[in-house]
Amino acid sequence: MTWFAARTKPGAQMPQRTYEVETTRSVKGYRLVPSLDPNMSAVEVSLKRGGFSFYMPADMRVVRDRKKTNVWTIRRFALLLGYVFVNDEARAIDWRKLEDETPGIEKVVRCAGKPLAILESEMDVLREKEAYLADRAAKILVVFQERAAAKGHTRRMTSSKFPVGSKVVITKGLARDKTGQVTGLDRDGRLKLLVQKLEMSVPFDSVELDYTEAAE
Dump pLDDT digits (tens) for 143-173: 998 888 767 666 777 777 778 888 887 776 6
Do 88 and 168 lie in one domain? The reply is no
Read off the CATH number of the domain in which 70 is found. 3.30.70
| Cα(75)–Cα(39) distance, integer angstroms | 8
Tell me which long-range contacts 206-213 makes (C-beta under 8 A, separation of at least 24).
Answer: 207/170, 207/172, 207/173, 207/175, 208/172, 208/173, 209/168, 209/170, 209/171, 209/172, 210/171, 210/172, 211/158, 211/161, 211/162, 213/169, 213/171
Question: Are 66 and 90 in the same domain?
Answer: yes
The gap from C-alpha 172 to its chain's centroid, in whole angstroms, comes to 37
Structural domain for 40, as ranges: 3-157
Q: Is 154 helix (H, G, I), strand (E, B) or coil?
A: helix
Residue 214 lies in a domain: no
Same domain, yes or no, for 136 and 173?
Answer: no
Question: How many residues does this entry show for the chain?
Answer: 216
**So what's the pLDDT on residue 153?**
63
- Domain boundary pick from 140, 157, 174: 157
Answer whether residue 210 is part of any domain.
no
For residue 1, count other CB atoms closer than 10 A to its CB: 11
145, 190: one domain: no
Give the domain CATH number at 177: 2.30.30.30
Count Cα atoms within 13 angstroms, Cβ side, for 59: 9
The reply to whether 212 falls in a domain is: no
In a domain, 75, yes or no: yes
Q: Which of 164, 195, 192, 197 is nearest to 180 (CA)?
A: 195
pTM, 2 dp: 0.65
Instruction: Give the chain's residues under pLDDT 50.
Output: 198-206, 208-216
Q: How many CB atoms lie within 10 A of CB 159?
A: 15
134 with 166, same domain?
Answer: no
Task: Let me know whether 51 and 124 are in one domain.
Answer: yes
